[in-house]
Amino acid sequence: MISWVAITFTWALKFGLAALVGGILFRFRWLLTVQQPGNNAQMWGTVSIRQGERWNVCLTNGQLRTVDGPNVVYVWGATLLQLKQFCALHSQYLQVQFLDGQSSIIVGPSQMFLDRSIHKDIALKNATNLTDSEVLVVYRDDSVPAVVVEKQAGPESDDKKTGPSVTRHVIRGPCVHIPRNATEWSHQFSWHGSISNDPASNGHKVKDAVKFTKLRVCPEQTYFDVESVRTNDDALVSVKVMIFYRLADIEVMLRETHDPTADFINSVSADVIEFVSGKSFENFKAATNDLNNLGVYKQLTRRAKGIGFEITKVVFRGYGAPQRLQKMHDDAIERRTKLVLERENEVQEQQLLDMKLEREQDRLRKRRQMETDAKEHERKIQRVSHEAQQLESLEKRQAQLQHLTNMKSTLGISSDQLCSYLIASEQGPPSKLVQIVGVGKDGDSAGNSFVIQDTA
């Protein structure tokens, strides 16, 4: 009995130990399998690093170990930190800032991982695209290395460093510009410009309204209104002009001015004031065409040449006046326009009457000509008809004469008998006929004969 209990207890103890070992193995089964890393998590066991990833393994003794995938590492209580990847294309670059204060430029295409143990920050930036009519002005210290691929952690350099020597460079397009080193920056232009897209307000310029970095060297134009200019008869006018110009020398412009538009505004204002102040309002209106002549703007052309620009043309766009003066001017224009329109209407009416009279004379002339032609045509018809009748009568007489001649020769009648025949033919058939025939001596009837006709 005792042996059976001991055997049972032994088997129960073995089964319990086996179950305990199995539970422990099941509870800590991740120690025996390959795990996926967790960012900023403490891990034990085998960890698999994927291809294309980079992790920092912070060991319990404080050391830092960098692992690139694909890889399998064994850790015991270490903390894993995933490094963020930055990728730059052909038209991009990476600006890397290190913890020691230095920085570098990595030109694309390239990639880099942000390692907080040596890097302060990594910024992905786009390159500057320049066309053939654009220029970029940059400044940099050429003593700094052009491109650094990657900086490793280590002690600071003991080399002696000289002061920065910054120089200016002009980058001309077409190109894709990437900074040569981390000390490079672009010149920021801030010029006078318009703050509204309304064409009526484009002539009003405001300081620092236009800010840009890419400078255009192609021909351009700008609008400007010279306001409140007084004539010698105390009339206030505003002169509107459009200035065409081109940048001829960038170095002179950068050296001599920081706002060329402001210089244009001051110079053209001085020229316009000089032009208007010596004229009355009426003389100014008559001489506005001279404002299209470049010779009027001497100060503008001289100042533009001094700051590296060339003025090609100035166009006068019109003028404005105060409300009361403008109303008087508008009323005068309205009256003149009304008189001109009335005169044109009267001239048109007179021309219309003249045209009607000329057309009536033409119609009468044509009608008389048509009547004359009709009469002439009738006379021609009558003449042709008369000639045809005369010819027909002549032919009849000739035929009758030929007939009588043939009858006389054929019948052998005398002239007196032929004459009597003709008279009888002419008179027609008589109502009574009395013929007296004389008898000759020999008893024949060859003597004289008389015919008495009564046609009553």
Q: What is the pTM of this model?
A: 0.60
Residue type, 200: A
Extract the residue ranges of the chain whose pLDDT is less than 70: 1-2, 5, 22-32, 145-164, 322-330, 428-456
pLDDT of residue 286: 87
pLDDT of residue 162: 45
Helix (H, G, I), strand (E, B), or coil: what is residue 232?
Answer: coil
Backbone angles phi, psi at 455, to 5 degrees: -100, 10
Q: Distance from CA of residue 284 to its chain's centroid?
A: 35
The DSSP 8-state label assigned to residue 155 in this structure reads P
From residue 360, give the alpha-carbon distance in Å to each of 7, 13, 348, 363, 365: 153, 146, 18, 5, 8
pLDDT of residue 152: 38
Name residues whose C-beta falls within 8 Å of residue 278's C-beta, 6 or more positions apart in sequence.
232
pLDDT of residue 150: 41
Backbone angles phi, psi at 395, to 5 degrees: -65, -35
Name residues whose C-beta falls within 8 Å of residue 288's C-beta, 6 or more positions apart in sequence.
316, 319
For residue 145, whether the previous peptide bond is cis, meaning omega lies within 30 degrees of 0, is: no
Q: Distance from CA of residue 237 to its chain's centroid?
A: 33
Nearest to 261 by CA among 275, 245, 238, 249: 245
Helix or strand holding residue 271 (H, E) = helix 260-277
Instruction: Please give the mean pLDDT across all residues of the chain.
Output: 83
How far apart are the C-alpha atoms of 49 and 222, rounded to whole Å?
62
Q: For the chain, how are helix, strand and coil distributed in percent, rounded to 5? A: 40, 30, 25
- Which residues lie across from 64 on neighbouring strands? 58
- Helix ranges restricted to H, 175-257: 250-256
